[in-house]
Structure 1
Amino acid sequence: MSTADTRAPAAPPAPATARGRPADRLDRAARPLAPFPDPGPRTGEQRARTERLLEAGRAQRTAFLDHHAEPLYDRLTADRTRRPRLDALVEDAASAVPGLVPTPAQLRADRAAPPGERLGYETDVGVLLRGLLRCPAAGGHLMDSMLRPTGRALGLLAEFRATGTVRLETTELERRAGVARITMCAGDRLNAEDEQQVDDMETAVDLALLDPGCEIGLIRGGEMTHPRYAGRRVFSAGINLKRLHAGEITLTGFLLRRELGYLRKLLLGLRTDEPSWRYPLTDMPWVAAVDGFAIGGGMQLLLAVDHVLAASDAYLSLPAAQEGIVPGAADFRLPAVTGPRLARQIILGGRRVRATDPEARALVDRVVDPADLDAAVERAVELLRNPAVTANRRMVNLALEPADGFRAYMAEFAVQQALRIHAADVLGKAGRFSARPPG
């Protein structure tokens, strides 16, 4: 066990009031931050002692960030002239202020450890990001940075503009008649979401928004190879619980990235280097078509698009509370769509909403026979070609989702979700799912 296990954290740093440069005050305030214990097996008493030290250290770092989030963020971003994404920002923080957040090596070691030996270092990442997101200046800049196109998308842009198609590992993008058609095609796992799928989806959304030949976006699930649904289209089975149990669902690479990245880009658009005075983001209307089911993250995606169609035999659900986690930004968005009572039934009680249920009218714009869904999709796409749609969707989305309200939600989400993904009940449920035979 590391010698850090026996060191009690120093008292939370007091607000820096002494004269001097902000950088000097930041460094002085950070000196008492305790180092992190190394992951590894521990006896019952050793484990209890380590958890007490982690708890005290998290309170200490929260107090530090309450007073120093803005100068810290300015240091990490060179006075906001740089726009690092979440994973790079966390890595920079570990280097710039030792003891504030685990190092990349410590995070990798903790994720690779057996579930019972993990120390939950994602929680310490959440404490950092909550502190930054709580700060209006730092949090606003960070959220704005996450609306920028990814380097991967920029690298593929010339190919997509020339060919109109891009095939990624879990996602296909095709431009046809001005429509960016995104097909989720992880057919062996029912489009269950993992970090690869989030990366592929954000890349596809970026490419669609960057290409002037795309006027409208369409998202649909492809045909499955999974034996239970072979040859049938499925929208999404939600989070990949096997990957969660294996420590491969991370806060920065999945849980926060999908909310601040491609889902918010669907809602608001892209931030580019050449914003127009007419509107600062590059955006367009989006349609989603649900075959089979939209579970968990699949249903969350529907809350970020403009028009939803569903086959009459489809259903929607948010089983996150049963799985033990928080369903992304659905807790923020769903009550405005359905009203708080139905939202509680769906989120807290796991109520499944079938496309033909009366309650589905708040979630689905049109329900059609499965055989007619292809034709209905094309009609919906044409409906959104109206020139006034884009301007009005901007105003609706700005009214429904004020940036400061969303920022405050995501700040608390960063910690609450990090705590849940390492909770014993969640790992137990995910472990039982991982042990199931395929099919």
Structure 2
Amino acid sequence: MSAGYVEAGRKLIDALIGQDQAEARLLRHRFLAEYAEQVYAELTDNGREFLRVDELTAQAAELLPGLVPAKDELEQEYSLPQAEKKGLEADHGIFFGSLLRLAGPGAHLTEAMRRPTTRALSLLPGFRSTGQVDLGIVQVHRNGDVGEVTVANTSALNAEDDRLVAALEVAVDLVLLDDSVQVGVMRGGVMSHPRYAGRRVFSAGINLTALYQGEITFNGFFMARELGYINKIYRGLSTSGQSWAPTPIEKPWVAAVDSFAIGGGAQIALVFDRVIAEEGAYFTLPALREGIIPGLANLRLPRVAGGRIARQCIFADRRIDASSPDGQWFCDDVVRAENMDAAVVSAAERLADPAVPANRRVLHQHEEPAAVFRAYLADYAVEQSRRLVSPDLITTLERTWISRRAAKPA
């Protein structure tokens, strides 16, 4: 650590004492604008350590107390419902926004998040042996050369929270790591929710009940989701440093959309190589109505569908029916419910060609360059962290909570 950096860090710590929240954040922002690269080098031992987002912020809190929330502060914050939080995670937004704007730290961080999870590596021998792993709310099954990921958060219509995001990343890792798997498939399981009991559902988006109760975290959900399992589906697992021309471990993916893909479900449909939708299925992006940013849909949907339709979906919560002409922007094929299994198998067979990974890799490099991805995420980190404690979001969560409670039978 350079002498100038050490002195600046000490001055920051001293300057934060007694400051109100807004002024303290301005000081953090100014400090990181000048020293983020040195901070990251110190935290990662000059790039020799690959730390995930939660590990990075935990070590940053110890290196420079006050730069990001300390462990005990976060534990207190996580115990509160969303309406009572102090908004401490906005400092994580400033931190990651500063790092992702820099070419070196940004690229290193995204590479770190594309490495296999420790849990996946521990489960891999068993998966290779038996061809199945039960993660509770996600099941992984190898069927020939296809790795099937079944999302089974059945009582919540596959709504995502921290726990499901973590399980999905492990599942995606296993599919990518198993050499006998050539194609990944993601599909929702059969629901136990009263409204859809006995039916498959792809995704209901973010779990608003968990968000209302303060159980959705910035690192564990918003950052880990985009940098973790979704980016791994799109770009594969990182093999950086293992050869002169590192080739990521990547495979083509099929999404099978039954019933609906709401919010996060519609977002992830944009990264799959082929999307098969059931007749009657639909896609929506209600994040603005909910008060948040719809992941990377603001980056990807305009590229896929054009600016006008993207604005209608994002700003006006437009519903896109899979069977309608505009359904093509979210899905490739629409089939009757009884034909879904066969259509998914056919799509997987077509993508099992050995030349597909190389073609998709080149396509993705130019369709969404890594620098563009990081620049978007830098802005997203800042804006989403502020949205999480915005008054309108809190009002929306309260209204939704009251409505859902009133709708429950006595």
Q: Shorter-chain TM-score: what band?
A: over 0.9
- The corresponding residue for 2:164 is 197
- The corresponding residue for 2:224 is 257
Q: Say which of 334, 337, 345 aligns to 1:378.
A: 345
Q: State, as a whole percentage, how many aligned pairs show the same letter.
A: 45
- The corresponding residue for 1:32 is 11
Is the CA contact (8 Å cut-off) linking 1:101 and 1:124 kept in structure 2? yes
- The corresponding residue for 1:237 is 204
Q: 2:286 and 2:324 mapped to 1: Cα distance?
A: 18
Q: How many angstroms does 1:387 deviate by? A: 2.6
Q: 2:71 and 2:362 mapped to 1: Cα distance?
A: 41
Moved more, 268-277 or 121-130: 268-277
Q: 1:114 and 1:399 mapped to 2: Cα distance?
A: 42
Is the CA contact (8 Å cut-off) linking 1:35 and 1:99 kept in structure 2? no
Q: 1:114 and 1:401 mapped to 2: Cα distance?
A: 36
Is the CA contact (8 Å cut-off) linking 2:16 and 2:66 kept in structure 1? no
Change (3 A) 1:369 1:116: closer
Change (3 A) 1:287 1:127: same
Partner SS, residue 289 of structure 1:
strand
Moved more, 313-322 or 428-437: 428-437
Q: 1:434 and 1:167 mapped to 2: Cα distance?
A: 31
Q: Say which of 185, 199, 219 aligns to 1:218.
A: 185
- The corresponding residue for 1:77 is 44
The correspondence of residues 255-404 of structure 1 with structure 2, limited to 5 A, is 255-272=222-239, 275=242, 279-404=246-371
Letter aligned with residue 31 of structure 1: R
Q: How many angstroms does 1:246 deviate by? A: 1.4
Moved more, 363-372 or 187-196: 363-372
Q: 2:131 and 2:228 mapped to 1: Cα distance?
A: 23
Change (3 A) 1:289 1:315: same
Letter aligned with residue 386 of structure 2: L
Q: How many angstroms does 1:35 deviate by? A: 7.4
Q: 1:120 and 1:126 mapped to 2: Cα distance?
A: 11
- The corresponding residue for 2:139 is 172
Change (3 A) 1:374 1:135: same
- List runs of 5+ in structure 2 lacking aligned partners: none
Q: 1:271 and 1:83 mapped to 2: Cα distance?
A: 11
Letter aligned with residue 33 of structure 1: L
Q: 1:377 and 1:275 mapped to 2: Cα distance?
A: 34
Q: 1:167 and 1:27 mapped to 2: Cα distance?
A: 48
Is the CA contact (8 Å cut-off) linking 1:293 and 1:315 kept in structure 2? yes
Change (3 A) 1:277 1:27: closer
Q: 2:128 and 2:355 mapped to 1: Cα distance?
A: 26
Is the CA contact (8 Å cut-off) linking 2:230 and 2:268 kept in structure 1? yes
Q: How many angstroms does 1:279 deviate by? A: 4.8
Q: How many angstroms does 1:434 deviate by? A: 2.9
Q: Say which of 94, 101, 124 aligns to 1:157.
A: 124
- List runs of 5+ in structure 1 lacking aligned partners: 1-21, 39-49
Letter aligned with residue 266 of structure 2: M
Higher RCO structure (Cα 8 Å, ≥6 apart) = 2
- The corresponding residue for 1:18 is none
Letter aligned with residue 262 of structure 2: I
Q: 1:212 and 1:275 mapped to 2: Cα distance?
A: 17
Partner SS, residue 2 of structure 2:
helix
Letter aligned with residue 29 of structure 1: A
- The corresponding residue for 1:41 is none
> Deviations along 1:100-158, whole A, 9 cap, x unmatched?
11101111212323544421001011111111111111111001110000001011111
Letter aligned with residue 23 of structure 1: S
> Deviations along 1:25-84, whole A, 9 cap, x unmatched?
11211223257999xxxxxxxxxxx9x811111111111001001110000001110011
Partner SS, residue 129 of structure 1:
helix
Bigger Rg over Cα: 1
> Deviations along 1:218-265, whole A, 9 cap, x unmatched?
000010000110000000000001111111111110101010011010
- The corresponding residue for 2:2 is 23
- The corresponding residue for 2:397 is 430
Q: How many angstroms does 1:276 deviate by? A: 5.5
Q: 2:315 and 2:103 mapped to 1: Cα distance?
A: 30
Q: 1:384 and 1:173 mapped to 2: Cα distance?
A: 19
Q: 2:245 and 2:344 mapped to 1: Cα distance?
A: 30
Is the CA contact (8 Å cut-off) linking 2:82 and 2:211 kept in structure 1? no
Q: 1:55 and 1:373 mapped to 2: Cα distance?
A: 52
Q: 1:314 and 1:181 mapped to 2: Cα distance?
A: 20
Q: 1:431 and 1:277 mapped to 2: Cα distance?
A: 54
Is the CA contact (8 Å cut-off) linking 1:153 and 1:207 kept in structure 2? yes
Is the CA contact (8 Å cut-off) linking 2:279 and 2:336 kept in structure 1? yes
Q: How many angstroms does 1:427 deviate by? A: 1.8
Is the CA contact (8 Å cut-off) linking 1:242 and 1:431 kept in structure 2? no
- The corresponding residue for 1:19 is none
